[in-house]
Amino acid sequence: MRILLVGNPNVGKSALFSRLTGTRIITSNYPGTTVGFTTGYLKLGEGQAQVIDVPGTYTLEPTSKAEEVAVEMLKEGDLVIDVVDATNLERNLNLTLQLLERQIPVIVALNMWDDTHHRGIHIDAAKLEELVGVPVVPTVAVTGQGIRELARRLPEAKVPKTTYSGSSSDERWARVGNITSQVQTLTHRHHTWYERLEDASNHPISGFLIAVLVLFATFWFIRFVGEGIIGYVTDPLFEYLWTPVLMKLSVALEPGTFWHTVLIGNLIGGEIDYFQSFGLLSTGLYIPLAAVLPYIVSFYLALGILEDIGYLPRLAVLMDTMFHRLGLHGYAIIPTILGFGCNVPAVMATRILESSKQRFIAATLISVAVPCAALQAMIIGMVGQQGVQYVAIVYGSLFASWVIIGLILNRTVKGFSPELLLEIPPYRLPLWRVVGQKLWLRVSGFLKEALPIVLGTVLVVNILYAVGAFDAIANLFSPILTTLLGLPQETVVALAIGFLRKDVAMGMLAPLALTAKQLVISSTVLAMSFPCVATFVVLARELGARRTLIATGVMIAAALTVGSLQNLIL
């Protein structure tokens, strides 16, 4: 049996899904799309049923790709659990009646039942069940209240005897209003402190100030947790467990040989340097597992907390006006923030945007103008030695490029940029069990999707590096870069190495005794040109070959243009 969880966005479907299925979950993209859904299993009687968390939808008359997928998935289900936000009964019942028109067995989960009491909302669940003609079960997914009763009553799900088919939109809304008036009463109550905080979060001025504080705290949290994992977990594991294995393998392969260069890389001072050796089994494993993964864990932990608290929709609404001018909407702030930790999960996170145009613009802007944490540390450390004003020039150039390129892409890239339509949920305390499950789901998804591709690409790049292809590329482009950018020829190799690891490339600039102007130009060009190999691979996977080539052209053109302007102006 296939059980579909259907409901509006932000009604607690994911929390209810976790309660019903536990951790036995599989994430997938619907065929032909990048719209994701989650599958799990529920023990039902002597057997088990497949439970599918359908993308959130407001209507079965689709206005976006996610809603189209939701409608298609209804054709594959045997039973629907209609997840209704009890605090917004009238709006949610419109989708309920549309589901009942489909003549598919339905049971209603009247979720967020605890919030109705806090808000002075009183719903007669038994009367509602009588009027809609299908079982209605009050639930609180985050605490588990009503979940056992919901599972027990699943076999009672049915097609209502009342005929709903053929209703017009006006007729349906009239019926919704009639049902709501019969089952729901409201009483006056005073706002709680967190409801006042909700109002402040939505206000343009106070909301902006709160957003700045939240983003600063989130970024600090990501850096603190990520660096802590690196310092106390991944680095010690590689140093004390993996390095001795690689040193033994190094002796067996003999330094300087082809396979030693490909698998182990170059020994630095007779030792393995995970940032500079560039071997498949050294740098190739260290970068995704020890350097990138900790930031992914810390970001997705922060993201899960902000999601379950209910802050992300508010942040999206606040940022929507600015992002819409770039062909995006407010939810693009999520992958953008993630990019300041690591570009790899940031590009993957563009899946939350509905249209291919939005995903292309967001992924391109992240690759061009959002430096990862490791590169930022090197820019601040090296360029900052020349003066804080030079660091400001680098970041100012990146921000200006982000805005200008976004405006250009919005006008030139074909496609549809849908409006931001979402429901803002109330603030609530996160349930750590649910946060942990989502963290595991997302991190394991990154490991399954990105790691094999990254390692395969690193192998190919290492072979090219071993046969001298990178030196040939550096020699080919050195006249252009030295003329346009005013950089010494020695910087070309470092910029080429940036394709493998940008912070290492910045480190290679250190002994070249560059002037402040040359440091600004080289670090800006390095940040805006080719993303690191891991990001480039994920970019190709998410956008496809054609659009990746277009994005690459945008990166190169933007980097050379901005670098040339800096060379003329500074």
* Domain assignment of residue 193, yes or no: no
User: In this structure, what token pair is assigned to residue 542?
Assistant: 């998410």
For 527, the enclosing helix (H) or strand (E) is helix 516-528
| pLDDT exceeds cutoff 80 at 449 | no
Q: Would you place residue 422 in the very low, low, confident or very high pLDDT band (cuts 50, 70, 90)? A: low
Sequence-ordered alpha helix ranges (H) in 230-270:
235-237, 243-253, 258-263
Q: Strand, coil or helix: what is 12?
A: coil
Region for 419 from its dihedrals, namely left if φ exceeds 0, alpha if ψ lies in -120 to 50, beta otherwise: beta
**Percent with pLDDT over 90 in the chain:** 18
pLDDT value, residue 398: 93
pLDDT at 30: 45
- How confident is the model over 132-151, as a mean pLDDT? 86
Greater confidence (354 vs 559) lies with 559
Burial 227-265 (b: 16+ CB within 10 A, else e): eebbeeebbeebeeebbeebeebbeebeeeeeebbbbbb
**Which tokens sit at 219?**
């970024």
Tell me whether residue 385 is in a domain.
Answer: yes
Contact 475, 469 (CB under 8 A): no
Is the residue at 200 inside a domain?
no
Contact 317, 202 (CB under 8 A): yes
b/e sequence 136-163, b meaning 16+ C-beta within 10 Å: bbbbbbbeebbbeebbeebeebeebeee
**Is residue 342 in a domain?**
yes
Q: How many domains does the chain have?
A: 2
Tokens of 454: 């990254």
pLDDT at 295 over 60: yes
Q: Is the pLDDT of residue 307 over 50?
A: yes
When mean pLDDT is compared across 112-126, 235-249, 347-361, 417-431, the lowest value belongs to 417-431
User: Please, are residues 205 and 199 in contact by the beta-carbon 8 Å criterion?
Assistant: no
List the one residue out of 143, 195, 206 whose CA is nearest residue 16.
Answer: 143
Q: Do 17 and 100 have their domain in common?
A: yes
Q: What is the mean pLDDT of the chain?
A: 82
The residue among 346, 304, 274 whose CA lies nearest residue 500 is 274
Q: Rg of the chain's alpha carbons, rounded to an integer?
A: 27
- Same domain? For 242 and 170 the reply is no
Which residue segment(s) compose the domain that 164 sits in? Answer: 2-186
pLDDT of the residue at 34: 47
Residue 421 scores a pLDDT above 60: no
Quote the tokens at residue 247: 């040193």
What are 79's two structure tokens?
Answer: 């039973």
- DSSP code per residue over 275-326: TT-B-TTTHHHHIIIIIIHHHHHHHHHHHHHHHHHT-HHHHHHHHHHHHHTT
* Residue 191 domain flag: no
114 and 37 inside one domain? yes
Cα gap 338→320, rounded to integer Å: 17
Which of 120, 155, 186 terminates a domain? The answer is 186
Residues 29 and 100 in one domain: yes
Answer yes or no: do 180 and 229 share one domain: no
Query: SS3 sequence, 441-469?
Result: HHHHHHHHHHHHHHHHHHHHHHHHHHCCH
Q: What pLDDT band is residue 454 in, cutting at 50, 70 and 90? A: low
Buried b (16+ CB within 10 A) or exposed e, 42-68: bebeeeebbbbbbbbbbebeeebbbbb
- Same domain for 410 and 304: yes
CATH of the domain at 168: 3.40.50.300
One domain for residues 296 and 155: no
Q: What is the pLDDT of residue 198?
A: 76
> Please, what is the end-to-end C-alpha distance for the chain in angstroms?
68
pLDDT of amino acid 500 = 67
Residue range 491-543, pLDDT digits in tens: 777 777 777 667 667 766 766 778 889 889 988 998 898 777 778 888 888 88
For range 268-297, the mean pLDDT: 77
Same domain, 170 and 253: no
H or E element, residue 137? strand 136-138
Q: Tell me, yes or no, whether 357 and 324 share the same domain.
A: yes
Residue finishing a domain among 130, 154, 186: 186
pLDDT computed for residue 477 by the predictor: 73
226 and 174: one domain? no
Instruction: Tell which of 186, 215, 244 closes a domain.
Output: 186
Instruction: With beta carbons less than 8 A apart as the criterion, state whether 111 and 28 touch.
Output: no
Sequence-distant (6+) residues with CB within 8 A of 367 are 343, 347, 531, 535, 539, 551, 555
* Residue 200, helix vs strand vs coil: helix
Residue 361 is predicted with a pLDDT of: 92
Let me know if residue 198 belongs to a domain: no
Write down the pLDDT at residue 17.
85
Residue for token pair 């394991």: 444
Closest Cα to residue 549, out of 326, 339, 360?
Answer: 360
Among 301, 309, 305, 357, CA closest to 332: 357
Residue 197 counted as domain residue: no
> Can you give the pTM of this predicted structure?
0.59
Domain membership flag for residue 195:
no
Task: Please report the pLDDT score of residue 68 as a whole number.
Answer: 83
For 351-380, what is the mean pLDDT?
84
Q: How far apart are CA 97 and CA 394, in angstroms?
A: 55
Per-residue pLDDT tens over the stretch 172-213: 889 999 999 999 998 876 667 777 787 788 777 888 898 889
Of the spans 8-17, 283-292, 392-401, which averages the highest pLDDT?
392-401
> What confidence score (pLDDT) does residue 199 get?
74
391 and 440 together in one domain: yes
Per-residue pLDDT, 336: 86
Distance from C-alpha of 182 to C-alpha of 140, rounded to nearest angstrom: 23
The pLDDT assigned to 486 comes to 86
- Contact between 378 and 316 (Cβ < 8 Å): no
- For the stretch 330-353, pLDDT in tens is 878 888 877 877 788 788 888 878
Give tens-digit pLDDT for 35-44: 667 888 887 7
Whether 272 and 354 map to the same domain: the answer is yes
